[in-house]
Amino acid sequence: MCGIVGHLGPKNSVDVVLEGLKRLEYRGYDSAGVSFISSSNDLMMYKKKGKIENLINEIKDKDISARSCIGHTRWATHGGVTDNNAHPHICEEMGIAMVHNGIIENAGELREFLTKEGIQFKSETDSETFLGLLIYHVRNGKNIKDAVIESFKKIHGFSAFVVLNKETSEIFSIKKGAPLVCGMNEVNSEVLVSSDPYALAGIADKIYFPEDEVLCHLSAANSNLLNFYELDGTKSKRYMSKKQSMTHDPAAKGDFEHYMLKEIYEQPELIRSLTQFYFQGEGKESLEAAVDLPRKNLHISACGTAYYAGLVIKDFFEQINRIPCRPEIASEFRYRNPILDKEDLALFISQSGETADTLAAQELCKKSGLKSLSIVNTEGSTLYRDCDVNLLIRAGVEIGVASTKAFTQQVLTGRTLSAVIQNKGMDDNLRNTLSQKYTLLAERIEELLDRSDEIKAVAGEIYRNKGFFYTGRGVYYPIALEGALKLKEIAYVHAEGYAAGELKHGPIALIDEEKVNVALVGPELYEKTVSNIQEIKARKGKIVTIGPEGKKDLEEISDYYIPINFDGLEELSPLYINVVNQLLAYHIAKFLGTDIDKPRNLAKSVTVE
């Protein structure tokens, strides 16, 4: 959730770290800070609550240059959002600074012990107990490397730590169950560490993914910039390395006002490139490998939007392949002692590949002997590394906290797998059929994007309303859930997704003229869904219908009717109805003036449970 960046090299490290933090601000944005060794060899620290801009304003007029720096953007867990609780935490006397991502579960106990040992705390955070442990071990004669190892051994829970040592300008990092990546640019003698490879794009040309409990040592020694150690101090080979393929385009938002809007508009192009990837490109192999996996039952685990994508995918696998599916929210699945059979397949869906609950669900399945498959965006992420087979969704970096393009790509990847399984492999016939469908889907979405002003006009009529019910039946039900999630997270409006037939079992009590029903209507169960809308209309609810075009009854019953062309593509229609929901949420949020790309209280990547 928090973003971490560390840099060591001849460039001004503070600039590199601030640039990295700006890129990671979408991960967490309660406060930000940096610590570095100044040219006069002092350990310096600046930290500020609020957006990273506050930190930049604080230091912009200072003449700062450093060869080694660590930085952090915080998403508060323990302790309020204050300057003091922001990271880094430092001990000037010993020349040590540290940043942390995760939760130290035994922080209370450690704090008590360390306080008795005379160590004073300056913040309310769990993170500072790690600094306390470092101080304790250094005081007791350990060198910094051993102090990091010994302190890390005392920590319970999932965390990543980065430590800066003034004496040698070295940086150490170590993690368990939290994302961490190192990067190197040998030509420039630069070495970096981060919670996200995106921070390193365009700087490091090689990236390294250490496994859990591997100590990474970033040093200024030209011939020895990056080393990995086991906890017993011996050299480690437990890391994966690859060329950095991610690029960073600073003008990535282009003419769009928000990343979210840009990402919504990217969808048609991404669908086309996914088609290319799986039908003609490198994706073929992983698709074939996925087809070969056992699948007596399919357990689908994910969180948030990725879970809703899983619900749509479930429908494909049950209706097309007749494979029994058990979709479950990962945070529930992991603690439920689920019934797992070695012949079953575990499917994990995630944009980041770093969601703590999804990773824990994967670990549980792995321990139970199940093969695991991911539908994932981030190549090299923990989920990607831990699963037996990975189907990449190729959505590119998704910056907007509200997931949009990832959902579409996840669903389509699942649809592709389901089709290939049904066809017992990919052949020209299937390739052509699917290519045609996906091309048509991309065109349909383009048509909807061209109607953004029409959707904006509807948003302008309803944005003041007090409560939204998104309803749908069958495969539109998960789309209703996803539509409601989009609205609540970016517009801060109370919204719920419901199966249309379920409203009368309780929630209908809430309906009055202040409430809006966004009714998703498909060709299936058409009349029954229209009856459900009638029930809301009779209670004076405002009706926004997204449904088949040319329907007189829908026009009459609706306050606002957004007609959709379903012809020839009913099966993939949830995906374009979802695009209407994305635009509706976006425009409502825009009218309400919220922070669309970085909505309050959220973080892009939820790496704590």
Distance CA 392, CA 405 (A): 13
For residue 520, give the DSSP letter: E
Taken in order 134, 140, 145, 151, the sign of the CA dihedral is: negative
What's the rounded Cα separation, in Å, for the pair 424 and 437?
19
Which residues face 206 on adjacent strands?
184, 243
Q: Give the ranges where 280-355 is alpha helix by DSSP (H).
A: 283-291, 304-319, 330-333
| H or E element, residue 347 | strand 345-350
Tell me the closest approach of the beta carbon of residue 355 to ligand M6R, in angstroms: 3
Q: Which of 174, 170, 175 is CA-nearest to residue 215?
A: 174
CA 341 to chain centre: 29
Q: How far is the CB of 26 from ligand M6R (least distance, A)?
A: 10
CB distance 31 to 48 below 8 Å: yes
Q: Determine the 3-state secondary structure of 295 from DSSP.
A: coil
The DSSP letter of residue 116 is: H
Active centre residues (catalytic): 2, 604
- Which residues lie near ligand M6R (CB under 6 A)? 303-306, 350-352, 355, 358, 401-403, 485, 489, 605-606
CB nearer to ligand M6R: pick between 129 and 350 = 350
Whichever of 393 and 445 has its CB closer to ligand M6R, that residue is 393
Nearest distance in Å: CB 438, ligand M6R: 22
**C-beta closer to ligand M6R: residue 330 or 420:** 330
Q: Print burial letters for 558-596: b (CB count within 10 Å at least 16), e (below 16).
A: bebbbbbebeebebbbbbbbbbbbbbbbbbbbbbeebeb
Q: Which is nearer to ligand M6R, 89 or 394 (CB)?
A: 394
CB of 596 to ligand M6R, least distance (A): 12
In the DSSP assignment, the letter for residue 88 is P
Nearest residue (CB) to ligand M6R, 301 versus 418: 301
Smallest gap from Cβ 163 to ligand M6R, in A, equals: 27
Nearest to ligand M6R of 172, 265 (CB atom): 265
Distance CA 151, CA 149 (A): 6
Residue 346 amino acid letter: A
Q: How far is the CB of 239 from ligand M6R (least distance, A)?
A: 22
